[in-house]
Chain A
Amino acid sequence: KQEVTQIPAALSVPEGENLVLNCSFTDSAIYNLQWFRQDPGKGLTSLLLIQSSQREQTSGRLNASLDKSSGRSTLYIAASQPGDSATYLCAVRRTQGGSEKLVFGKGTKLTVNP
């Protein structure tokens, strides 16, 4: 059974700091991994999708890496801003032929202080 763990559960940083959020998964047989952010009272916003054959993806100040063999992904946020404050969720999708579902971690709640 796939389990996804995110560390830390909460993080508070001053504005401008670079930071790394961690995600680990127990079964390396994944199809892809997706990072989301969830603002209070809102749904999920997709940030980055990494296919199992890829090592990293970048979008603006965000960079996500994937090491499938070790079961790890990181989300790097450069020059953090108060608007980055949200809960960040990592989710993995099983390989083709298995369930289509995403398995989510519990998230990291990020607070960026002005």
Chain B
Amino acid sequence: SAVISQKPSRDICQRGTSLTIQCQVDSQVTMMFWYRQQPGQSLTLIATANQGSEATYESGFVIDKFPISRPNLTFSTLTVSNMSPEDSSIYLCSVRTGHNQPQHFGDGTRLSIL
């Protein structure tokens, strides 16, 4: 299975600032996703990161708040913009190597906003 590295693993940020999370995969993957896990909740898909084009966002998530880049088949970034305490969550990168393949997750970025 693909090895997924996320940076940073955790951060504490001030209200109103932005943070960019990086996701690096050790092999080319067709599908990359960004999920959020709020405290005590399960995972919710933010967007699908599309290589070479704009990400596809789920209902309730917008590009201005969560801009995503995917310049190639092994790397993606998620930016959490103008952060507020409600953005305190774990953000997880996820990949799938093929249509019928299992989905794999990175260790996540634990974000706290003061």
Contact = CB atoms under 8 A, between A and B. Distances in A.
A43 B102 contact: no
Interface string B79-114: 000000000000010000001111111111010000
Contacts of A49: 101-102
A104 interface: yes
Interface in A55-114: 89, 91, 93, 96, 99-102, 104-107
Of A51, A89, A96, A100, chain B has the most CB atoms within 10 Å of the CB of: A100
Given A100-B48, A101-B33, A101-B58, A46 B104 contact: yes
Please tell me the size bucket of the interface on B: 20 to 34
A44 B105 contact: yes
B105 A43 contact: yes
B43 A104 contact: yes
A41 B1 CA distance: 21
B102 A46 contact: yes
For the complex, would chain A's binding face be called helix, strand, loop or mixed by DSSP majority?
strand
B45 A106 contact: no
Interface residues of A, number: 23
A103 to B, nearest CB: 8
Interface centre among B33, B48, B58, B102 (most CB of A within 10 A): B102
Contact of B103 (A34, A41, A51, A107): A34
Contact of A100 (B31, B41, B104, B108): B31
Nearest to B43: A104
23 contacts: A32-B100, A34-B103, A42-B108, A43-B6, A43-B92, A43-B106, A43-B107, A44-B43, A44-B92, A44-B104, A46-B103, A46-B104, A49-B101, A49-B102, A91-B43, A91-B103, A93-B103, A96-B99, A101-B58, A102-B43, A104-B44, A106-B42, A107-B42
Interface of B: 1, 4, 6, 31, 33, 41-45, 48, 58, 92, 99-108, 110
Given A41-B110, A99-B58, 12 more contacts: A32-B100, A42-B107, A42-B108, A43-B106, A46-B104, A46-B105, A93-B103, A100-B31, A101-B48, A102-B103, A105-B42, A106-B41
